[in-house]
Structures are given as C-alpha cells and as structure tokens.
Amino acid sequence: MHVFLSVGEPSGDQHAAELMREFSRRIPDARFSGFGGPEMQAEGFDCLYQLTDLAVMGIGQVLPLIRKFYGLVQDAKEYLRLQKPDAVVLVDFPGFNWWIARAAKEIGIPVYYYCPPQLWAWAPWRIRKVHRFVDCVLSVLPFEAEWYKKHGVDVEYVGHPFFDEVAEHPLDNRTLAKMASDDLQTIGILPGSRKQEVLRNFPVMLDVMTALYEKHPNIQFQVACYKQWHFDKCSELLNEYGAQLPINLHLNKTAEVIEAADFCLIVSGSVSLELLARKTPAIVMYRGTLMTCILCKALLTVDYMSLPNLIANRAIMPEYPLVRQKSGHIDRMTAELDEWISHPEKVEETRKQLTVIAKAIVETGGVQRAAEVLVNRLSNTDSTTHAVKNRAA
C-alpha cells in the first residue's frame, strides 16, 4: 500500500511520523512518499521535497514563495499521475494542501485530512473545499468533529496526537534537575516553531523578561527552542539585546521547559495543548504583520486564539493577540505576569481550571485510532477495487 503525505508544519512533521509508525505496524510493507520533514524521513519517508522548510504564515511571507509552491504542486500532479498512490493524507497547511487535494481528486485518489484546518475558527466558507476535495476528515478535537459533522462532512474523531506524544515522551530528568531551584521561580518561554514567529515574538518576550526581572530578581527564564536554527537565532537576538538576564536556552527540550515552569509566556500555537496536558498555566501572545492583523480581524469567527481557551470557551489563559503597538502590550503582559509572581494562588487557580478541562478532553490513543481508520478504509476500498476488477474480468 502506497500513501502520499503532504505536511508543511514542523509540528505536523512530528504528527505524521507517528502516524506512519502506527500505520506500518498494521501494514508492515506500506510505502510513504510526498512532502514532509526530517522526522518523517527518519521513519523511511520518501521525501520529494522538505516542505517544512517553507512553513510560513501571513500573505507577506507567502507571496515571495508563490512560484516555489506552484512548482511543487505541478511536481505533485505529475507524481500522483504516474505513481497513483492508494491515498493522499494531508496534515494542516491548508493554503498549499488544498491544491494537493484538488490534484488527487482529479486523478481519483481518495483524500484524507488529518489535523484539519480550523475552519470553525476563521473563513468557514472554505468548507466548500472540504466537500469538493476531501473524502474524510480525521478530526483531533471533539467540538471540531461536531462542527464538521454539522456541515455534512464525512468525519471521524480520533483524538489529538499531541496527547499521545506528551504521554509517551520520557522527560529528561537531568535537564529537569538543572532547571529546578528552591530559591527561584521558573518562567518558561516558548517563542514558536516557525522562523518568522521567533523573529517577531522573541524580541517582545525579551522586553517582558527585562521588565519582570527588574521587579523580581528571584526569577529565572527557561527558553524552549524547537530546532537548531531557533536556538542560534534566540542566542543572536539575546546577544544583540545586551541585557543581563537569567536566561537558559534549551534545544529540543520543550516538554521539560513546560514541566519545570511555574508558568509560561508562549507564542500561540498547537503547543498550548501540551501546556493543557501538563496543566501548566501560560500567558499567550502572537505578534503578526499588519496584513495578518487586518485579515484576522476580517475573517476570525471565534473569540480566542489558543486551543485551551477555545475548548473551555473562556479565557483561562490570558491572551495578547496581534501585538502591533508593542509598549502597551508589553506593559499589560508584564503586569499580568507580575501578578502571577506576586500571588502564586492565582497561578494555582489557573492550574485547577486547566486540570478540569484536561480531564474532559485529554485522552491518549489518537494516533492509533487515526491509523486504524486509514487502514480500515483503505483496505475496504482496496477490496472493492479488486472485486470490481474481478467482475469486469
């Protein structure tokens, strides 16, 4: 069985690698090819192009890459036509993946969307594309599955892969011990997984850290860097900043930073689900471009940007979206974190609220269920195809 995957986000690379592993346990001779990232390649993925290198957000970042994306779509069309894989599995990255879905449907290849785009949050009219180009959505959140079902989409709720990854990730106790301190409060800093996120958000985070450290010398900051590039860029920005701060940068230790922190300051993203699973309170920010700000105000249909708040339908984690006027946002974020440092009982109250939400939604087995859905559906399709061929013969 041959499955073509198209994955454009670093987190999607991780989710898809887990899915491939579970799929291969059920069909050992399965073949995987397409667009993805290094974690998928480590699982034997035949990578036609490392699409995760092009993970960008906002029209300003996308426009310079239009020609590159167009060329990749043409390459995919030709590959799908010649190879005719049994299925195409898309993971997030909708701006690009709609074109891959269109190409697959034109050839008659079934399309599955795992970790689907959050149409319920913004630009919901895109549901027309799901009806036209997607055979089944593998939904990762209960309310998301209900939304797709209400809109007439063939959807299977499987559960979010983040919860499996949290449960299965062995924490590095040596790193946790280095982060621990009886005398200092620990604040985790998560500056995002995309390059543009780090470049736009980490300088703002440095301003917040400086203001906090001036008020509270008994704190320390642990920064989680997703990839080597992020580590190097954060180091460079920190050196350029010039302030003497109690900061430690960590590479590939996001789980340990979240676990060790009393609370965090994070860039909005799916990592908020890991904070939910670990019941770690956080303040959420996102600094985008002016165009991103305009588009979000025009297209957003929900009141919150972080998934724990969307799930709870209230602001458990304080949010500071689209930071344009930096000074005002920095003052407000600093004041909120100052309250948490000065009044630990407020942090504990937030932790209790996260615990209640986590009990209701956090469940493991999502990756296994996703693999089972794919295997069962593709096996049935394969059996039907053989039966039709035999009858024709």
Model pLDDT, residue 303:
77
Note the pLDDT tens digit of each residue in 116-145.
988 887 778 899 999 999 999 999 998 899
**Residue 292: which residues within 8 A CB-CB, separation 6 or more?**
57, 58, 59, 60, 322
**Residue 239: which residues within 8 A CB-CB, separation 6 or more?**
none
Looking at the predicted structure, is the pLDDT value of residue 290 above 70? Answer: no
Looking at the predicted structure, is the pLDDT value of residue 311 above 70? Answer: yes
What would the mean pLDDT of 301-314 be, rounded to a whole number?
Answer: 83
Tokens found for residue 69: 């994306």
Strand 111-114 relative to strand 155-157, pairing = unpaired
Is the C-alpha dihedral spanning 148, 300, 199, 341 positive or negative? negative
pLDDT range class, residue 149, cuts 50, 70, 90: very high
Q: Which residue has the higher pLDDT, 232 or 121?
A: 232
Strand 185-190 relative to strand 219-225, pairing = parallel
pLDDT range class, residue 62, cuts 50, 70, 90: low
What would the mean pLDDT of 213-235 be, rounded to a whole number?
Answer: 94
Tokens found for residue 262: 């009393």
Contact 204, 329 (CB under 8 A): yes
Model pLDDT, residue 387:
38
Tokens found for residue 6: 């198209």
Residue 63 one-letter amino acid: L
CATH code of 173-361, in short, is: 3.40.50.2000
Q: For the chain, what's the residue count? A: 393
CA–CA distance, 174 with 364 (Å, rounded to integer) = 26
pLDDT range class, residue 328, cuts 50, 70, 90: confident
Q: Which residue has the higher pLDDT, 14 or 381?
A: 14
Q: What share of the chain is helix, strand, coil (3-state, %, to 5)?
A: 55, 15, 25
pLDDT range class, residue 91, cuts 50, 70, 90: very high
Q: Domain 2-159+365-392 is of which CATH architecture?
A: 3-Layer(aba) Sandwich (3.40)
CA–CA distance, 64 with 350 (Å, rounded to integer) = 42
Looking at the predicted structure, is the pLDDT value of residue 40 above 80? Answer: yes
Looking at the predicted structure, is the pLDDT value of residue 78 above 90? Answer: yes
Where are the CATH 3.40.50.2000 domain residues in the chain?
2-159+365-392, 173-361
Entry pTM: 0.83
Contact 87, 379 (CB under 8 A): no
Looking at the predicted structure, is the pLDDT value of residue 176 above 50? Answer: yes
